[in-house]
Every structure is written in structure tokens, then in C-alpha cells.
Amino acid sequence: MLARAVAGESNVPFLSISGSEFVEMFVGVGASRVRDLFTNAKKIAPAIIFIDEIDAIGKKRWPGTGGWHDEREQTLNQILTEMDGFDNDTNVIVIGATNRSDVLDKALLRPGRFDRKITVNLPNQADREKILEVHARGKKIEKEVDFKALASSTVGFSGADLGNVLNEAAIISARYNEKMINPARLQQAFERIVMGLQKKSLVMNEDERRTTAYHEVGHALLGKLCKHSDPVHKVSITPRGGALGVTWFMPEKDAILTSKAKFLDELCVLYGGRASEEIFFGKDMITTGASNDIERATAIARNMVMRYGMYDEIGQENFAGERGMGNYTGTEGERPYVSESTQKSIDNKVREILREQYERAIKFIKDNKKLHIKISEDLLEKEEMDRAEFEAYFS
Ligand code: ZN
């Protein structure tokens, strides 16, 4: 939208292409598409070229394997060649957009290429309300629809996500032959965008359903017991978009800073799933369902130690480098020098933090076994629980 607005303000043509379009192309097609795009732009210059999702082609390069890498490489090289070919008379401006500026190939960011960066922060509540109003233009919407309420429950949504909610609501309304979007359809659309499309076809067996229910209730229960955790918005064991279950937390207000206490509670909540599996089904019956939780927990703990300087014994020093999540997957930028002994204390500290929070999760769950069973068995039956239904167990 910003790129389009720039073109509008400058009164020049706007040519756009999305990086993800190249993902499924045959080798060579992407590069020739880029060539055509730049040729056209130069012909009608002054003009603005907009490349959306530039990270899809501009990721850091790896020693090549397979067709897709070759294709991406060729496309990326073509963009770089075109941009380097600009001279002072070329009245073409290239704008790229990405949610992952941390993974971009450094070659893209050199002077003369994408050398200026504008960070567009996520909209706050007031912004979200206005953005929803913009996307609502041209759509028929019932008076009862409350954008203010929707704005307050869409913390963390980008402008595009908000646009998707309204588009989805329009599609659902059309399917029901309704002439106007009503609040119920908007709510449906909202949930669909947030959790991915319901995949009823993904059938779980009874054991998996039970494990998933206890796992998710573990997250929810700890979310309730840890006082720095965001409140539970919904618990579900309806499979959606690849996940068997989901516990969804909703921050009560927009927050930018995160405290150490909040991180620790987050770790505890993340381990609530695995801890429940262990307690209710036994150490040998723990499942792969916790892998994403463990991945996230590890990244948080590493960041606390290596990036945020939250542990005096390690120090207020950056050990992770300037980019990425410090998650050791090798995708982050250059890492500062870390001596072997420091590395060892970092590793030990991270392990200690994670172990402490796992044990805390175990204790919380042991202390609340009865309630846990009650909620889990209810969830097995209902499949979904909203905030009010969940809170009712604690009143
Ligand atoms: Zn989980």
C-alpha cells in the first residue's frame, strides 16, 4: 500500500511483482520475467517497480542444491544486474517489501541496490480500526459490525492481515447468499485467518485426540497460572493447517517491550504441553507434538542469554550477532567471536533456564491434576473452548 501510495503521489506508473511467484517457475523463467519488467519500466519511465515478498528470492545464498535454488539464484542475479545497470538518467525506482529483512542476502542491500530501509511497524489499535475502515470501503457491511471491537482483538495483525479478514468475510457472506457482511461472518473470517482453515478431513485417532487435548490444556492451564502470561483466548483440538491443536493467547494491550519475568512465564507455558504428556501418559508416551514448543522455548532462552543480557553471570553482552533469532540454525548473520569457555557457560545457562521452567511446568500440572483432567475431558467432548468457557473453571 505504501509503495502504491508513493507511486500515486509521484504520479508515475506502478509495476509490481511478487517474489513468491517465482517459487514455482521453471529455471530461467524468473530471470526473463525480471528482464521484461525492468525493460518495460525503463520504457515508460519515470516509473516505480515494486517487488513484494522479496525474501522469497533474496534469501541468503547457500551452496546450491536442486532446481529451486538455481531458479532463485538466477532470478536474484537478474535483479542485481538490472539494478546495477541503472545510470543517472534511469528514472526508475525499485521498492521491495519483506517481513524478513533479517534473512536477505547482503548483496541485495549494497549501495545502489536496496540501500534504504523503511521499517513499517505493525499497526496499533487505533491504526487497526482505521485500516479496517479503509478495507471496508466498497463492501456492504451491516451497521452492527463493530470495527473498534475487531481492532482490539486483532493485536499483532498487519494491514494485509486485516484486509484478508474483510475479504474472507465477504467470501463467506457470498457463500451464504447474504448481501451484507454481518458480525458473525466477520468473526468467522477472523478465526479462519488466525488459525488457518479448518481441516476437518485430517482425522485423528482417539489416542491422538486425547493426547492433544491434555497437551493443549497444559498450555492453557499454565497460561492461567503464570501471572505474566497473556490470557487464554481459545483452546481447540480441531486440526487446522497442519496443527492438531492450538491454544491461543491474546495480549490485552499492545506491548513493545518484554520483561524477563514474562519470558520465563512464556517458557513455562510452552512446556505445559510436553509436561502434561509426561504426567498423564508417562515418560515413554511423550510425542512429537511438542517439537514446535521446544523450538520456540530454545530460541527464547538463547535470546535472553545471548542477546538481551538478562543474566548477570553471562553479562550484558551480545553473543548472537546483529541479526536473526540466535537460534543456531545457521541462518543468522555473522556472529561475534565467542570463546570456548564463554560458549560453554552460555550453553549451560540456556539449559538451566529451560530445565527450571520445565520443572516448574511439571510442578504446576501435578498440583492441578484434577482440574486438568476435568478441562481436558470437557475439551475432548466440545473440541473447542473460548475464553469465557475456560475462565468459568476458575470462578
Ligand atoms: Zn504445544
What would the grid cell of residue 89 be?
538518467
| Pick from 102, 103, 98, 107: nearest CA to 76 | 107
Instruction: Report how far ligand 1's centroid is from the alpha carbon of 326 (Å).
Output: 22
Contacts of 117 (CB under 8 A, 6+ apart): 101
Instruction: Report how far ligand 1's centroid is from the alpha carbon of 366 (Å).
Output: 18
pLDDT higher at 248 or 23: 248
Instruction: Report how far ligand 1's centroid is from the alpha carbon of 160 (Å).
Output: 27
| Pick from 228, 140, 135: nearest CA to 179 | 140
- Three-state DSSP class for 311? coil
Instruction: Report how far ligand 1's centroid is from the alpha carbon of 270 (Å).
Output: 6
- Look at residue 53 in the predicted model and tell me its pLDDT: 85
Instruction: Report how far ligand 1's centroid is from the alpha carbon of 395 (Å).
Output: 25
| Pick from 191, 214, 233: nearest CA to 286 | 214
Reported as a single tens digit per residue, the pLDDT across 316-349 is 998 887 654 444 444 445 667 889 999 999 999 9
Instruction: Report how far ligand 1's centroid is from the alpha carbon of 299 (Å).
Output: 15
Which residue(s) pair with 384 in the sheet? Answer: 236
CA angle 25, 26, 28 (to 5 degrees): 105
- Three-state DSSP class for 391? helix
Which residue(s) pair with 232 in the sheet? Answer: 249
**DSSP one-letter code for 63:** S
Mean pLDDT of 370-386: 92
pLDDT higher at 124 or 139: 139
- Write the single-letter amino acid at 67: G
Sheet holding 232-236, edge to edge: 246-249, 232-236, 384-386
Q: Which residues are identified as catalytic?
A: 216
Reported as a single tens digit per residue, the pLDDT across 42-96 is 999 899 999 888 888 777 655 544 445 667 778 888 888 888 888 878 889 999 9
- Three-state DSSP class for 176? coil
| Pairing assessment for the beta strands 246-249 and 384-386 based on DSSP bridges | unpaired
Question: Are the beta carbons of 60 and 323 closer than 8 angstroms?
Answer: no
pTM: 0.59
Instruction: Report how far ligand 1's centroid is from the alpha carbon of 215 (Å).
Output: 6
Mean pLDDT of 221-227: 96
- Look at residue 313 in the predicted model and tell me its pLDDT: 94
